[in-house]
Amino acid sequence: MIFLGVTTALFGVSISLTISLLDHGSVLSFFGLMTLVGLGNGMSIPNATAAMMSINPKLAGTAAGLGSAIMIGGGAGLSAIANFILIHGSSEIPLIMLMWTSVFCGLCSVAYVSYRKKTLEV
């Protein structure tokens, strides 16, 4: 379910980036396609949080706190980067590229964790 959620988010951001690069972007296309990102996040984040806390049940509270701190810190860092790359009068393309890069890194992380889990089970 995590992989499906991240793939859905990447699909939405990719379509939004393509539309913007073809110079057909609008407020409706940007925010309309962000619903796919929200849907993808809704599928992936709760499942990732549950998986994170189920590794060692004795440390579930620590895992929840650390995971939440990483999410908040990562969001703050990405907000600072977005503030830096978006100058007055710029288009939405730098923001969408930052979002695409972030979601792609998430997809790579999911693929790596899945691969690592399979190698440890053998």
Supply the range of the domain harboring residue 75. Answer: 2-121
Residues 88 and 16: their CA atoms lie apart, in Å, by 21
CA count, 13 A, side-chain hemisphere, 74: 12
Residues 30 and 49: their CA atoms lie apart, in Å, by 28
| Structural domains counted in the chain | 1
Query: How many C-beta atoms lie closer than 10 Å to residue 14's C-beta?
Result: 16
Predicted confidence at residue 70, as pLDDT, reads 95
For the stretch 14-63, pLDDT in tens is 999 999 999 999 999 999 999 999 999 999 999 999 988 888 889 999 99
Predicted confidence at residue 122, as pLDDT, reads 62
Find the angle CA(120)-CA(48)-CA(1) to the nearest 5 degrees. Answer: 90
Helical residues (DSSP H) of the chain, grouped into ranges: 2-21, 27-54, 60-85, 93-121
